[in-house]
Amino acid sequence: MTDALAEQLDGIKIEDSDTSKDPIFAAKDHASEFDPSQYLEGFYKSASEDTAMQVVLFFLPGVLYRLPNSIENVLDLGAGPTVYIPIAMRNRAQNIFTSDYAEANRKTLQSWIENKSDFDWGNVCKWILNIEASTETPEKMQADARSKMRGILEVNVHKEPVVQNIFYKVDKSYEVPKQFDVITTVFCLEYASETLEEYARAVKGAISLIKPGGYLVQGGVLHANEYSFGGKRFRCHYLTQQNLVKNLKDNGMCTEDKNNNFKLIIHEEIFILVSKKLA
């Protein structure tokens, strides 16, 4: 890590703001109450505006470095309206699928794939470029990522099967795999749940989509009961490190840092991990 990046990371601190008077919604209300535009403006307009995003983007390239150099099929599970995972995986993945529970988010993802997005991902690309020490332009990064996109799936981590429907295909000739070589899921599983039982079901569902020997890249927040944006609050599961690791282990994922099969990073209550599926 360069001195400049170390200083950048050291400056990332969680800042609290008073949202106690904002209306609060259940996790299941994401489908009807989630506003993609408000979310993107609140968290992704500038790479310096949201602490959680900064932490994830700072460590994401290093976590992805632990994956195989060439990955056939990737699914970003519960992507919301975001596309930084496909951008970050543009040079490793052959086929990228994205997904979400809320139709509004799936439509936002489709607009980006078709290069019709109203949101400018340039600042996020520049942040990723800085961490990667790359000389690419944001435009090329996004073009390369779009060239790997194969479809958008409707998903529900609390149902079987998790993949409920195919929302959009770039090309009808591409088949949607039953299982993927890599599942990524960031700010999803604990945000889609309120109780430990619901969280455990969500983790089980996510891991069911991974091939034996495949990988999970998971990011999220520890010790939070809710999150907020755009004048709304959403309840979420109060996740602890103990329950995070236990649910991985209970579903056949590696939880020991041996042979690059597991790595957990926690900074300011934000975590990101990579884990290999053992069976």
Binding residues for S-adenosyl-L-methionine: 39, 44, 78-79, 84, 100, 105
Distances (CA, A) of 141 to 21, 71, 89, 99, 126: 40, 18, 10, 20, 10
* Exposure string over 70-91, b if 16+ CB within 10 A, otherwise e: ebebbbbbbbbbbbbbbbbbbe
- The annotated binding site is made up of 39, 44, 78-79, 84, 100, 105
Contact (Cβ atoms closer than 8 angstroms) between residue 252 and residue 278: yes
Secondary structure (DSSP) of 234-251? EE-----HHHHHHHHHHT
Phi, psi dihedral angles at 34 (to 5 degrees)? -80, 125
Secondary structure (DSSP) of 50-118? -HHHHHHHHHHHHHHTTS-SSEEEEEETT-TT--HHHHHTTTTEEEEEEEESSHHHHHHHHHHHTT--S
